[in-house]
Amino acid sequence: EMNLKYVSSGKAKDIYENSSETLLFEFTDRVTAFDGKKKSDYNEKGEITCKIAEYWFNIMENNNIPTHYIECPTSTSMIVKRLDIIPVEVIWRNYVAGSFLRRYEAGEIKLPEGVGTEEGSPIHGGMIEFTTKFEAVDRPINTDEIISNGWLSEKEITYITDLTQRINDIMSQELAASGIILADFKVEYGRKPDGEIILADEVGTPDGCRFWKKDEFDEGAIISLDKDVFRKSIGDLTVAYRELFNKLQKNNK
Ligand code: 5GP
C-alpha cells in the first residue's frame, strides 16, 4: 500500500487509490470528537475498528444489504468499491443521546410525541435524521433541503430510509444476543457508476455508533462501549472497543 496514491484522510481513516474502481481504507489509531476539537491516538484502535467494520460488512452482505465492501488485505486495511459519495450523514436513533439531547436542551428541537427527556429515553420505533457531511460542523438538514440541493430524490430518500431501518434491525438483533443495546448510529451511502445506491464508509463500528451494556442499562446506568468513552473521558477507548469486539465474537462461536 506504500506505493498507492494517497487520496484523502477522514477523522480516523486514510484513503488511497487501489485501482481505477477501488479504494483502500487504512484504519489508523486516531480518534477525534467534537468536530475535531478533541484529538488523541489509541494503540490498536485502528486494527480493532477495522475488524469490527469487516465483521458487520459480512453480516450486511449476508442479509442482502448492498455495500461497497470487498475485502481486508491486512488487519488494518479494507478494499472498497469507489463511489460517488452522497454528501449526507444518515443517523438512526433508538434512544435519546448525544447531539439529539443537546439540541433538545438548547431549545432547538422538540422531541417526538411521548419521548422522554433524558439520555437513554427510548424512541419507540426509532427515527431517522440527516446531517451535512462536507461542512466543518455537522448540521442537521431536512429532506426538502436535501432534495433542493439535488443530493437525493424523494424516492431515493425513501429507499435510504428503508435500508437504514433494515441495517438497524439487523444490528440491533445481533447486538441483543451479545447483551448490547444499539442506541444510535451513523451511516453513509454512495452511488456506483451504474447509479445503484449502496452502503459506504463503515458500519457498526464504535466510532459511529452508540453501544450500551444491556444489564447495566436495565439497572439504570449507561455504560458505553463506543466513542463516548473518549468524548466523555470515562476510560480507555481501546479497552472498550476490545470488549465490544470480544462480545460480538463470542456470540458467533
Ligand atoms: P450525534 O448526532 O448524537 O452526535 O450522533 C449520533 C450517532 O451518529 C452517534 O452514534 C455518533 O457516533 C454517530 N455520528 C454522528 N456524526 C458522526 C461523524 O461525523 N462520524 C462518525 N463516525 N459518527 C458520527
pLDDT in tens, 111-144: 999 999 999 999 999 999 999 998 888 899 999 9
Residue of 32, 91, 132 best suited for mutating to test ligand 1, as the one with most atoms within 8 Å of CB: 91
Ligand 1, atom 7: closest residue by C-alpha = 185
Residues 202-208 have a mean pLDDT of: 98
The letter for the amino acid at 24 is L
Is the model's pTM score more than 0.80?
Answer: yes
The rounded distance, in Å, linking the Cα atoms of 94 and 128 is: 9
Furthest C-alpha separation in the chain: 55
Residue showing cell 466543518: 136
The rounded distance, in Å, linking the Cα atoms of 138 and 212 is: 24
For CATH 3.30.470.20, the residue range(s) in the chain are 84-236
DSSP E strands in 133-243: the ranges are 140-141, 180-187, 189-191, 197-199, 209-213
What totals of helices (H) and strands (E) does the chain contain, helices first?
Answer: 7, 15
* % of the chain at pLDDT higher than 70: 99
What is the pLDDT at residue 2?
62
Residue 1 pLDDT more than 50? Answer: no
For CATH 3.30.200.20, the residue range(s) in the chain are 5-81
Who lines ligand 1 at CB under 6 A?
89, 91, 97-100, 138, 184-186, 207-210, 227
Report whether 70 contacts 80 (CB < 8 A). Answer: yes
DSSP E strands in 37-187: the ranges are 38-41, 69-74, 77-81, 84-85, 88-95, 122-132, 140-141, 180-187
User: Which is it for strands 30-33 and 22-27: parallel, antiparallel or unpaired?
Assistant: unpaired
β-partners of residue 211 are: 182
- Phi (first) and psi of residue 189, to 5 degrees: -125, 160
- 237 pLDDT band, cuts 50/70/90, is very high
Q: How far is the CA of 34 from the centre of ligand 1 (A)?
A: 10
CATH superfamily of 84-236: ATP-grasp fold, B domain (3.30.470.20)
Report whether 242 contacts 250 (CB < 8 A). Answer: no
Ligand 1, atom 18: closest residue by C-alpha = 208
Torsional class of 21: left (φ above 0), alpha (ψ -120 to 50), beta (otherwise): alpha
β-partners of residue 80 are: 23, 69
Query: Which element (helix H / strand E) includes 30?
Result: strand 30-33
Q: What is the ipTM of this complex?
A: 0.85
For residue 211, the number of C-alpha atoms closer than 13 Å in the C-beta half-sphere is 29
The 10s digit of each residue's pLDDT in 162-190 is 999 999 999 999 999 999 999 999 999 99
* Burial of residue 146 (number of CB atoms within 10 Å: 0-12, 13-18, 19+): buried
Domain 5-81 has CATH 3.30.200.20: yes
